[in-house]
Amino acid sequence: MKILVVGDIVGSTGRRVFKEVVSRLRDENVVQAVVVNGENAAAGNGITLTLAEELFKAGADAITLGDHAWGQRELESTISGEKRLLRPINMPPGTPGQGCVTVQTAIGSFVAVNLMGRVFMNPADCPFRAMDALLAALPRNIPVIVDFHAEATSEKIAMGHYLDGRVA
């Protein structure tokens, strides 16, 4: 299975390019699934449900967020209605929405996970413990794709080493 993972979509230009490229890749059967970070889709500050639907229609199977997840006020009350729109899994208990989703494709399924670092970021629960808990709850034979949204390169490297051999 070929999964396209796209970094930060920013504003209308990012959304337009995403639509063009993903449409072509899907039409040519180059990719079977698409995970995209959409936390800056609304002019660089969050995402709305309408913009998320635009990205889903364009070919996204899951949209991850990050520290700008709540940049658009409406999202807090609407995120729970769209299971493919993922806020970081390590946000405190009671945070609306979910941090992972199982994506079904014609070839098989995988789990998309949104995770956020803590260095130079808004407060969040420990991403290492959050991943341990999630991986313990998942079947061992399902691939896991992680969007680790973090500022510090050192934290990204540490997470990469920590998850090496445990996720796709």
Q: Which helix (H) or strand (E) holds 115?
A: strand 109-116
Map residue 142 onto helix, strand or coil: coil
149 annotated active-site:
no
CA distances to 15, 29, 59, 65 from 123, rounded to whole Å, are: 29, 40, 32, 15
What strands, in cross-sheet order, belong to the sheet with 33-37? 3-6, 33-37, 62-64, 85-86
Contacts (Cβ under 8 Å, ≥6 apart) of 8: 14, 37, 39, 40
- Catalytic residue (choose from 68, 69, 97, 144): 68
- Is 12 strand, coil or helix? helix
User: E strand or H helix at 64, and its extent?
Assistant: strand 62-64
Write out the two tokens for 65: 């967020």
Residues noted as catalytic:
68
